[in-house]
Structure 1
């Protein structure tokens, strides 16, 4: 009995140790991601930005729109942490309110671009032939234009405004998403389980969405995250040129544009919105790098 008990206990112990070694995909992802210290910090900062965007109207000490002509171009102080602009509006409050606008523009434009590019990439990679050629030539045409010039051309047709900025930035992102998804689709299409599904007569729609699309998700997530920062920067550039958000909207690019006439006399009007853009774009890029390293199965510890 004692020997039998020892054998049972030993078997249970080995089995428990083997179970602990088995990692779920999420645990494996988290194990790799938490080693990326910069990505962790960037992820926390991005989460903080979303909290600010949600609580913006509650936590802003002053109105972001109403002028205060008694405090025009005041430097940073205990009363106004980031100073005031040419209309006496608190810059700190405007940056907080602008966080919501910038995140909304970045997320919505990338989401639209990701949806369009993913569908085109799946269709192009799965069917191939003349369909693939047409879609890829369409992407080549879009790639032929620098992103900011393409966005300016689209807004010149549609007119200025945040809604048209979202459309312009989304179109700018479609070809890259399409190329990324097409590349993943071509490699997944050649796998055994996809060939087996085709051999038994599974519908193309089912194969694409059940067998191929899940394999492209990690690549989409990585580029989606990094693309948000680029979209925020592009939208800010368009607003700086007067093609995006219009006054008195507290959009970061528009704030930069309104402060360029005071670079010598009141540099804080442009410094703080510029820092907000720089840090936000950097955070999304670092987070995207961390996600890429954590989701890539080829990356070793």
Structure 2
């Protein structure tokens, strides 16, 4: 396929064809202007690298206690100090990165896949099916997300696998609502009507014509929901419903460190900072993606 060109006047009566920017180049140019978004992307790349190389660079065993170094403040031997069992906090924060990102990412992936499918079909077909889906979502929206997660954990029992299920269930109606709204706006467009008129099956219309139009919105929302999922997962572990001791998880570390806020505040400070930085990075990255994908913004 030949690439589209834009004529540029080089001299009177002479034009030089210049290749038009591809959508990928336009996106990269717009995203590079989002300074906070780029900084957040760099932080997220570092966090994802920690999930793979964490065991290699971790200076200590995150689970093995050392009763000779209880509640030591940050020092040359332990950069972030030690906890009530003498375990190195830096090592536990590094290992906690893998757990927190894995739990939040997997739960949002599951919730987004289910929510996108239901939102597309409900918005496209409408009728009683759409009404049933939206009334169910309204019931779920009536309760705060953390209460929904606690109720699900109370039924399934504590543990990280059940945290993934709880956060995924909380994520589903969020995606249903946003994808359904985009589908309603797209299904009456002229090119969709033309596809119906030539007899293209509904499933192909949904996945080849409507879904691509909702992808950018879903991608931005997906990125920002990861930060929320990290907060909910950490909250459940803080309450003792998620990760169980001695597993190194940020919420569980906060829970154990609250007893030493006056005598050894570093035990709770650094896991809390890890949660703050990670959630902030995902939200800022999502904001940058949203602005870069917004075609209303003129280059």
Normalized against structure 1, the TM-score is what? 0.94
1:299 deviation in Å? 2.5
C-alpha RMSD over aligned residues: 1.4
Q: Which has the higher helix share?
A: 1
Match of 1:37 among 35, 38, 41: 35
Inter-CA distance 211–87: structure 2 relative to 1 (3 Å threshold) = same
Q: CA deviation at 1:11?
A: 10
- Which of 240, 246, 249 is the matching residue for 1:248? 246
* In 2, Cα distance between equivalents of 1:219 and 1:15: 37
Q: List gaps (5 residues or longer) in structure 1.
A: 1-8
Q: How does 1:1-301 map to 2 (within 5 A)?
A: 14-17=15-18, 19=19, 22-301=20-299
Structure 1 pair 28/92, CA: closer, same or farther in 2 (3 Å)? Answer: same
1:25, distance to aligned residue in structure 2 (A): 1.1
Task: State how far apart, in whole Å, the 2-side matches of 1:83 and 1:266 are.
Answer: 9
The range that moved more, 290-299 or 119-128, is: 290-299
- How many residues matched? 290
| Distance in 1 (alpha carbons) for counterparts of 2:14 and 2:260 | 72
Counterpart of 1:14 in 2: which secondary structure? strand
| Deviation of 1:103 (Å) | 0.5
Q: TM-score, normalised by structure 2?
A: 0.95
Alpha-carbon offset, residue 116 of structure 1: 0.8
Q: Could you tell me how far apart the structure 2 residues matched to 1:138 and 1:120 are? A: 12
| Map of 1:6 onto structure 2 | none
Instruction: Give distance in 1, aligned partners of 2:113 and 2:17.
Output: 43
Aligned partners of 1:296, 1:236: CA distance in 2, in Å? 32
Return 5+ residue gaps in structure 2 as ranges. Answer: 1-9
Which one has the bigger strand percentage?
2
* Distance in 1 (alpha carbons) for counterparts of 2:126 and 2:55: 50
Any idea what SS the aligned residue of 1:180 has?
Answer: helix
Q: In 2 relative to 1, CA 235–11 (structure 1 residues): closer, same or farther, beyond 3 Å?
A: farther
